[in-house]
Amino acid sequence: MATKENKYPENVEGKYYVDDECIACDACVLAAPDNFSMDEDDGHAFVTTQPRSEDEEDLCREAMEACPVEAIGNDGES
């Protein structure tokens, strides 16, 4: 389960974030490419844009559920 204390600094402010458990599998980027990106140098994903619509919110939830190591968190804040 992701923890806010371990989230990567590249994450934009908001409720979704990726923490240091990320294994760079790319599942979140494939599920929600408008919201997640991969740091190729450091080998981890991060949130580039918080969801701006219900469709993006659904895709971010899908990305969170697809993460094999539960590195995506949602702290419920907007």
First CA to last CA distance, the chain = 20
Which residue pairs, CB below 8 angstroms and at least 24 apart, start in 23-29?
Answer: 23/68, 23/69, 23/71, 25/67, 25/68, 25/69, 27/63, 27/66, 27/67, 27/68, 28/63, 28/64, 28/66, 28/67, 28/72
Q: What is the pTM of this model?
A: 0.93
Query: Which residues of the chain are under the pLDDT cut of 50?
Result: 78
SS3 helix, strand, coil % of the chain, rounded to 5? 25, 20, 55
Domain ranges in the chain?
Answer: 4-74
* CATH code of domain 4-74: 3.30.70.20
